[in-house]
């Protein structure tokens, strides 16, 4: 690893370290919820290791508790994780020429935190070579993803001993607010975020949390149209 790549790795570690403060309660909470839903320790850990996507995991477990049809559970979890495809497309210009094994590792560890940190850093340093960009991504992942496994394990093992007044569920909205807020850089972004929130409330009566899917689809369409409209106005 070159000096530049090594320094980028440790910079990624430093940037990712603060997210441990929300990953810990997030993972603990999933371990608790999974255990209370009747999943075994092996099932809870397999869920976190194979899926490694907190929001999709919570959604799937909640639907399982509601005894939703399997197809609804799978499709809803996939819909919640659809943002990962957009993350991948966004990072492809930066990491698309990396060796396939590195891209496989990056794809597995693509979570909200590693994407947000990497995209921001790559925009700030467009001249970084591929090796440096990969090193930064791995560094940003290092304090986040392994800690997710550890926190999930602790939640599943000692979850019943965690006092309810600790309210671990605060970590979920805080995590996504911390990730989404800095990304709202343009008017279409703000419009899409606003529409998604309103539509989620409008369709809250839909069963099996389908309001999330409907709201996401409408928000993406409205945001895309807003971007097209603004682009036309700018060009004229």
Residue ranges of the chain with per-residue pLDDT less than 70: 1-3, 159-185, 209, 235-236
**What pLDDT is recorded for position 168?**
54
Residue 19 has, within 13 A of its CA and on its CB side, a CA count of 29
Length of the chain: 236
| pTM of the full structure | 0.74
For residue 42, count CB atoms less than 10 angstroms from its CB and return exposed for 0-12, middle for 13-18, buried for 19 or more: exposed
User: What pLDDT sits at residue 86?
Assistant: 80
If phi > 0 it is left, if psi is from -120 to 50 it is alpha, else beta; for residue 40 that is beta
The phi-psi region of residue 208 (left if phi > 0; otherwise alpha if psi is between -120 and 50; otherwise beta) is left
């Amino acid at each position: 690893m070159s000096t530049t790549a090594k320094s980028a790795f440790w910079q990624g570690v430093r940037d990712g370290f603060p997210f441990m403060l929300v990953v810990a309660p997030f993972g603990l909470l999933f371990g608790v919820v999974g255990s209370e839903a009747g999943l075994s320790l092996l099932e809870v850990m397999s869920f976190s290791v194979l899926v490694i996507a907190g929001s999709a995991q919570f959604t799937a477990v909640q639907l399982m508790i509601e005894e939703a049809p399997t197809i609804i559970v799978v499709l809803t979890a996939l819909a919640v994780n659809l943002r990962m495809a957009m993350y991948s497309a966004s990072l492809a210009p930066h990491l698309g020429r990396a060796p396939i094994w590195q891209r496989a590792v990056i794809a597995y560890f693509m979570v909200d935190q590693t994407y947000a940190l990497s995209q921001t850093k790559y925009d700030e340093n467009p001249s970084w070579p591929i090796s440096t960009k990969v090193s930064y991504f791995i560094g940003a992942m290092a304090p986040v993803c392994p800690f997710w496994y550890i926190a999930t394990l602790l939640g599943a093992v000692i979850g019943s001993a965690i006092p309810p007044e600790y309210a671990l569920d605060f970590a979920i909205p805080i995590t996504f607010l911390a990730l989404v807020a800095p990304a709202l850089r343009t008017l279409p972004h703000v419009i899409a975020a606003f529409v998604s929130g309103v539509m989620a409330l409008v369709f809250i009566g839909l069963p099996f949390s389908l309001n999330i899917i409907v709201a996401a689809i409408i928000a993406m369409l409205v945001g895309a149209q807003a971007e097209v409209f603004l682009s036309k106005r700018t060009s004229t």
